Amino acid sequence: MLQTASFDGEIGSPIQNSNPVLSIEEGRDYILDNDTQLPLDLEKVLGTGYTSIVEKVRHRNSKKAFAKKRLPFLGPFLQTQTEEQFSNEVKVIRKLASHPHIIRVFATYITKSEFGMILEPVAQTNLGDFLEHYKKSMHRGASTATHTLERSFGCLANGLSYMQQKSIWHNDIRPPNILVCGASVIYADFGGATVGNTASESTTEERPDFLIGTYSPPEVFSHGKKSDAGDVFSLGCVFVEILSALCSTITYDQSQPFKDIIEKVHKDLCSASLPSKLSSLPNFIIPMTLLDGSKRAKADQVSSGICANADLCCKLCGSSREAKDSQEA
């Protein structure tokens, strides 16, 4: 029996629908016998995670491409955890739906064996792979790829500022969780995200071990504390990696967590010779990556400062900064 849930911004109580043929509607949540009832054809697997598989699929009628994120059931106990992760991720992404640099949930489904999200847009790659390819390229210069990376500073800062305005912490900001779609960068993988009561609230709830790594702030290693400042640190580390790809004068030990090398990175940033359009970035990256979380820059300050340079953000992020400035004037 096919059922659908009416859209209310979160997964709601399903209402019965006896039509076995689906034409997927945006904002709907479907309960299915199996995913073959979805009018989606698999094109390729885009990636696999700890609990999920992401595929590129295409709608049979509209021919529109989507990403389908599948979370298979892995036993009774893990099924409960997976359901909680699924529900939380859908809720978080829908809360952030209006931002151009955050992935969107088109629809969701549940079968007897898995939870699933139908997402858009579909990425060509993720930022980690994009950077690796870029660094190996012999033709950087004023390429489209270079402009994409230059604009990513402001667009990612603007996206993080928007998350924190909505009291959401991503908790796992790193290049593989940032998609590159055309010339745009998109935050994705909100499976470990949390929603706070206020943007400055923090909690001592521990992160899962798989969310602690190269880009994690030092406070997470010591006591698992999550906060808005933690996301700022992680994004600052991503900025170091992007800047290193754009400027050969910026180097760092990639085998170490950023928390262990960041003070040396700060010294190198202070003395580095950078192109004029990128010369202001150390003034943002260093305050973002201070070891003391209470002294780190705020996401909205970083976003406003970087997006003041039209070369470092897209037009949408630049115009949102101008609108904010006019409201505060």
Q: Is there a single domain that holds both residue 256 and residue 294?
A: yes
Q: Is there a single domain that holds both residue 151 and residue 292?
A: yes
What would the pLDDT profile of 262-273 be if each residue is shown by its tens digit?
999 999 999 999
Q: Is there a single domain that holds both residue 75 and residue 143?
A: no
DSSP-assigned letter for residue 32? -
Q: Is there a single domain that holds both residue 164 and residue 301?
A: yes
What would the pLDDT profile of 33-61 be if each residue is shown by its tens digit?
888 999 999 999 999 887 899 999 999 99
Q: In what order do the strands lie in the sheet with 178-181?
A: 125-126, 178-181, 184-187
Amino acid at 77: F
69 annotated ligand-binding residue: yes
DSSP-assigned letter for residue 275? -
Q: Tell me which residue range forms the domain holding 265.
A: 125-197+207-326
Q: Is there a single domain that holds both residue 283 and residue 192?
A: yes
| Residue ranges of the chain with per-residue pLDDT less than 70 | 1-21, 138-142, 197-212, 224-225, 321-329
What's the CATH code of the domain at 100?
3.30.200.20
What's the CATH code of the domain at 162?
1.10.510.10
Q: Is there a single domain that holds both residue 171 and residue 225?
A: yes
| 39 part of a folded domain | yes
| 7 part of a folded domain | no
| 1 part of a folded domain | no
Q: Which residue, 97, 120, 143, sits at the end of a domain?
A: 120
User: Can you give the pLDDT at residue 11?
Assistant: 53
What would the pLDDT profile of 224-248 be if each residue is shown by its tens digit?
667 789 999 999 999 999 999 999 8
Q: Which residue, 77, 95, 120, sits at the end of a domain?
A: 120
Q: How does DSSP assign 148-210, residue by residue?
A: HHHHHHHHHHHHHHHHHHTTEE-S--SGGGEEEETTEEEE---TT-EE-SSTT-EE-PPPPGG
